[in-house]
Amino acid sequence: MNINKNTLQISTFALVMLITGAIDSIRNLPAMALFGSSLIFFFIFSAIVFLIPAALVSAELSSHSTEKSGVFHWIHLAFGKKIGFLAIWLQWINTIAWLPTVLSFVAGTATYFLRPDLAQNKYYLVSVVLLTFWFLTWLNLKGLHFSARFSSFCAVIGMIIPMILIVMLAGAWFILGNPSQIHFTKVDLLPSLSHTDNWISLTAIMTAFLGMELATVHVKEVRNPQKTFPKALFLSVLLILSTIILGSLAIAMVLPNNQINLVNGVIQAFTNFFEKYHISWIIPVITVMLLLGSLGQIISWVISPAKGLLHAAELGFLPSFFAKKNDKGMPSHILLTQASLVSIVCLAFLLMPSVNGSYWLLTALSTQLYMLMYVLMFLAAICLKYKLKKQPNSFTIPGGKAGMWGTCLLGLIGCAITIAVGFIPPSGINVGGWMHYEIMFSGGLVGMIFPVVFFYWYQNKALKISPLKHNEVEVVVA
């Protein structure tokens, strides 16, 4: 990250890299490649009803303040601390479902070169996921400085370079006239919207767009944030859209639809390209790069939502046990609890009939939880449009209040569609039948949201008790 050590300010370029590094991921490409050339339509549709509204809202809200920013701050200002806590919880708990999917990508990629069949072995995947995540948790406990340097190195080596490489390989594949598994006719580019499977693709695509608002917590480290954030968000949207669309098409071009594996589809595609061009010797190199990229992304997501939850613990929404920090200043008890919950969620790989089914279930579950948070964010943005005064040099969505309403309504429509289709199991993936999927999916949603009710009760009880404790202290002192 390009940070001036004297002023501790993040440049526009560094901010763009921070945003795209948190959102853009080569791991998401196989899930989106399943939908062939029609993914172009759904990417554009998703950008209009979600990515662009999320970026515009984040840009306006973050430009109102140079001191505090982020989802908790915005929703707290709009609806109070309790709803703000719900937003933080949704932002944190979705990672509990999401992290096992990234770790399974690591496990599948690591074994692809030696034993590709292990990528479909549930017990192997669960073992590697658990060992890797507990190791990364230990790394984060060592301090933010160490993990941040490791994460920055991994982002360049394991995400940016492989993403550019796979797009270039696909371009050469197309120019040289090699057979393509997809076509770009009008029928293929404009899918029938009456087919539910086409709408289900939104789950995979929306997953690739989550996290646009995360970088706004760095508002104090950015020079002239009122101008820098909107510019960085605009450039990030262009970079994310171009790399993900081209990368997904690259995989769809070389792999038949029924052979795309959600866990190791990326290395599958690279292998096909390298064998065609007679440079198979490079496969182990790209494998190591992909592993580094995934590990770097995981480290960032392990600590960032945990620090947000630490803030909630310090405000009294969680027992004081969760506010504990180690000598490195890291939220040690939250990190250890998080690792324990991820270990439990990994059991989904054993409860679903296929690895692809488990991967899809956890991806859909994570997306739904995050979408609920975005619903709160868009509603808060409308509310704050009337509450907050316009700041000098702040970015404003064109059209004033009408522009904000239109932007947020588009975002809410995108969220509503994604939430609705999340309950529909994909027909091309073995999820154990409709009833099995609904029970696992609905049960997962309830189980991950319900603890909020307990924490509300805990805070109310603590507030009632605290005056009594205060009186007791006064009596003893007297």
* DSSP codes joined into one string, 82-136: HHHHHHHHHHHHHHHHHHHHHHHHHHHHHHHTT-GGGGG-HHHHHHHHHHHHHHH
pLDDT of residue 148: 57
Provide the token pair at 105: 């990508």
Give 204 or 452, the one with higher predicted confidence. Answer: 452
In a domain, 287, yes or no: yes
Cα Rg of the chain, angstroms? 23
Encode pLDDT of 109-122 as tens digits. 777 767 777 777 88
The whole domain housing 79 covers 3-451
Quickly count: other Cβ atoms within 10 Å of residue 439's Cβ: 12
Q: What is the pTM of this model?
A: 0.78
476 by DSSP, 3-state: which? helix
Q: Per-residue pLDDT for 474 more than 60?
A: no
Instruction: Give 285's contacts (C-beta < 8 A, 6+ positions apart).
Output: none
Domain count, the chain: 1
Judging by beta carbons within 10 Å of its beta carbon (0-12, 13-18, 19+), is residue 337 exposed, middle or buried?
Answer: middle
> Which stretch of 46-50, 67-71, 339-343, 358-362 has the lowest confidence by average pLDDT?
67-71
Distance CA 123, CA 131 (A): 12
pLDDT of residue 21: 65
> Which stretch of 156-170, 183-197, 245-259, 391-405 has the lowest confidence by average pLDDT?
183-197
- Residue among 8, 65, 85, 146 at smallest CA distance from 393: 65
The CATH number assigned to the domain holding 82 equals 1.20.1740.10
- Residue among 325, 345, 327, 331 at smallest CA distance from 302: 331
Q: Per-residue pLDDT for 49 more than 60?
A: yes
In a domain, 465, yes or no: no
Alpha-carbon dihedral of residues 215, 362, 39, 270, nearest 10 degrees? 90
- Residue among 312, 298, 309, 379 at smallest CA distance from 342: 298
Provide long-range contacts, Cβ within 8 A and 24+ apart, for 330-334. Answer: 330/140, 330/141, 330/143, 330/144, 330/303, 331/306, 331/307, 332/141, 334/306, 334/309, 334/310
In a domain, 29, yes or no: yes
Provide the token pair at 306: 């945990």
Half-sphere exposure (Cβ direction) of 32: Cα atoms closer than 13 Å: 29
pLDDT of residue 351: 78
Q: Per-residue pLDDT for 299 more than 80?
A: no
Helix axes 283-314, 71-79, angle to 10 degrees: 30
Per-range mean pLDDT, top range of 184-193, 355-364, 429-438, 440-449: 440-449
Q: Per-residue pLDDT for 98 more than 60?
A: yes
In a domain, 227, yes or no: yes
- Residue among 413, 453, 421, 448 at smallest CA distance from 90: 448
Residue with tokens 């370029």: 13
pLDDT-based confidence at 5, cuts 50/70/90? Answer: very low
pLDDT-based confidence at 468, cuts 50/70/90? Answer: very low
Give 291 or 402, the one with higher predicted confidence. Answer: 402
pLDDT of residue 400: 87
**C-alpha torsion sign, points 295, 213, 359, 361:** positive
Percent of the chain exceeding pLDDT 70 equals: 84
In a domain, 462, yes or no: no
The residue-averaged pLDDT of 376-381 equals 96
pLDDT of residue 323: 86
In a domain, 191, yes or no: yes
Dihedrals phi, psi of 47, to nearest 5 degrees:
-65, -40
In a domain, 90, yes or no: yes
Q: Per-residue pLDDT for 357 more than 50?
A: yes
Instruction: Give 65's contacts (C-beta < 8 A, 6+ positions apart).
Output: 73, 219, 391
Judging by beta carbons within 10 Å of its beta carbon (0-12, 13-18, 19+), is residue 316 exposed, middle or buried?
Answer: middle
Give 307 or 254, the one with higher predicted confidence. Answer: 254
- Residues facing 222 on adjacent strands: 10
Dihedrals phi, psi of 10, to nearest 5 degrees:
-95, 130
pLDDT-based confidence at 469, cuts 50/70/90? Answer: very low
Provide the token pair at 36: 């062939």
In a domain, 469, yes or no: no
Distance CA 203, CA 473 (A): 54
Per the CB < 8 A criterion, the answer to whether 364 and 441 are in contact is yes
Residue with tokens 């005056």: 467
Q: Per-residue pLDDT for 378 more than 90?
A: yes
Distance CA 85, CA 77 (A): 12
Encode pLDDT of 8-44 as tens digits. 466 777 777 767 766 777 777 887 787 778 788 888 8
Averaged pLDDT of the chain:
79
